[in-house]
Amino acid sequence: MSPSASLTFTVTDDDTAAALGSGDLPVLGTPRLLAWLEAATCAAVAGDLSAAETSVGTQVTVTHRRPSPVGEEVTVTAKVSGREGARVTFTVAATDSGGDEIAGGEVTRAVVERERFLARL
């Protein structure tokens, strides 16, 4: 079985497009949705990492299909769909409290050694 994770969030005023500067409507902003999806990918791969490792995002391809108002509960899921060396690919999705898919796509992360990665900065 491929590692996976699901996280649930409630949309607040701070999560809206208007608050995040990605639009002017009081609905879930795409930047917040992407952050939630990435949080799910981190949770999905966390059990496979040593204490010296972490993962960093490298590519995101997500379609945000439907708006979610303030107060809506959104569940984001990530499932490992592929591995190639240090690269881990996830299928991601977000659904609302009614079970309707509001977003879906793919996220790729790279597994890195924390100290080595930070030493390159």
Tokens of 7: 């996280």
- Give the model confidence (pLDDT) of 3-13 as tens digits: 999 999 999 99
Segment 49-103, tens digit of pLDDT: 999 999 999 999 999 999 999 999 999 999 999 999 999 999 999 999 999 999 9
Whole-angstrom CA distances from 104 to 5, 53, 64, 114 are 15, 27, 7, 29
Number of separate domains in the chain: 1
CATH code (residue 84): 3.10.129.10
Give dist(CA 15, CA 70) in Å, integer.
8
What is the span of the domain harbouring residue 18? 4-119
Q: Which residue has the tokens 């497009």?
A: 17
Residues 39-52, mean pLDDT to the nearest whole number: 96
Residue 2, pLDDT above cutoff 90? no
Diameter of the chain measured on Cα atoms: 46
- Closest Cα partner for 64 from 44, 42, 34, 26? 34
Averaged pLDDT, 31-48: 97
Q: Is the pLDDT of residue 1 over 80?
A: no
Report the alpha-carbon distance of residue 114 to residue 116 in Å, rounded.
Answer: 6
